[in-house]
Amino acid sequence: MVLSLALSSAFFTHLAVADDKESSSKSKAKEKKESKAHKDRAYAADPPTVKFGEFKSAEIKATSLSPKHAKSKGNQESARKIDEMLLSGLKAHWPNITVIPAGGEFSKNAERTLQITPMIEDIRLVGVGTRIMIGVMAGGSDIVMHVDFRDSSTGQIIGHPDFWKGNNAWSGGVSWGATDNQIRDAVVGQILQYTSANK
């Protein structure tokens, strides 16, 4: 009887482990499928309807994360780093740019102001530890960002470009994660280039 119970327990434990492995495998496959979808998608960065040079002041909200990515501490840290880089770059155009904290609202400034709202729509960054452990098997890294530019005097969105940057599993693997870490910098560079080009 005892042997029978032990065998039964071992059998169900084996099933539970197998289910966990299958669930993990499906999750990773889904992430890789979404990553490929990002690469296949067309990203639009049409020029704004109003030149940014017409605005003497600007405000920027803290970068938000789409709900499916918002709980991850790593993603929150990525958003914080993106905020730092965006603010540093945008100060070249608007030295007194105002930062609106997460959950805050734009001010009711009487002066015509460019209101900037960045959002991380999708993000998958392979960590250095994971990259060193399993290399190319970890897949690629991607960031998709959407930025709204609004004219405070009319309340109208005058620009709503999308930006994407990613790498493939091979480049991430052979660089030991260096290209994974550069993705944040690259997508911020695209946003700053867009802003400068439409000034």
Question: What's 140's domain CATH number?
Answer: 3.40.50
**The token pair that represents 44 in the structure block:** 């639009």
10 & 31 share domain: yes
pLDDT in tens, 52-103: 999 999 999 999 999 999 999 989 999 999 999 999 999 999 999 999 998 8
Same structural domain, 21 and 61: no
Question: Which range of residues forms the domain containing residue 11?
Answer: 1-40
Check residue 45 and give its pLDDT: 77
For the chain, the domain total comes to: 2
Beta-strand pair 113-124/142-151: antiparallel
The answer to whether the beta carbons of residues 96 and 111 sit under 8 Å apart is: no
Band (pLDDT 50/70/90 cuts) for residue 7 is very low
Give the closest residue to 70 by CA, choosing from 31, 102, 110, 115: 102
Full-model pTM? 0.72
Q: Are 69 and 16 within one domain?
A: no
According to DSSP, residue 53 is labeled G
- Give rounded-to-5 percent helix, strand, coil for the chain: 50, 20, 30
Residues 82 and 156 in one domain: yes
Distance CA 125, CA 122 (A): 10
Q: For the residues 131-135, what does the mean pLDDT come to?
A: 51
pLDDT of residue 163 exceeding 90, the answer is yes
d(CA 17, CA 52): 56
Confidence of residue 167 (pLDDT cuts 50, 70, 90): low
Please state which of the ranges 9-23, 31-45, 62-76 shows the lowest mean pLDDT. Answer: 9-23
- pLDDT tens, 137-148? 545 678 899 999
Are 100 and 86 members of one domain?
yes
Asked if residue 46 and residue 26 are part of one domain, the reply reads no
Q: Residue 68: exposed, middle, or buried by beta-carbon count in 10 A (0-12, 13-18, 19+)?
A: exposed
Same domain, 63 and 103: yes
Kindly state whether residues 29 and 125 are assigned to the same domain: no
Q: Are residues 36 and 46 in the same domain?
A: no
Judge if 33 and 130 occupy the same domain. Answer: no
Query: In this structure, are 8 and 79 located in the same domain?
Result: no
> Do 94 and 184 sit in the same domain of this protein?
yes
User: Does 175 or 54 have the greater pLDDT score?
Assistant: 54
Ranges of H-type helices in 73-151 = 73-90, 128-134
159-186: b (≥16 Cβ within 10 Å) or e: bebbbbbbbbbebbbeeebebbbbbbee
Rounded to whole angstroms, the Cα distance separating 44 from 89 reads: 22
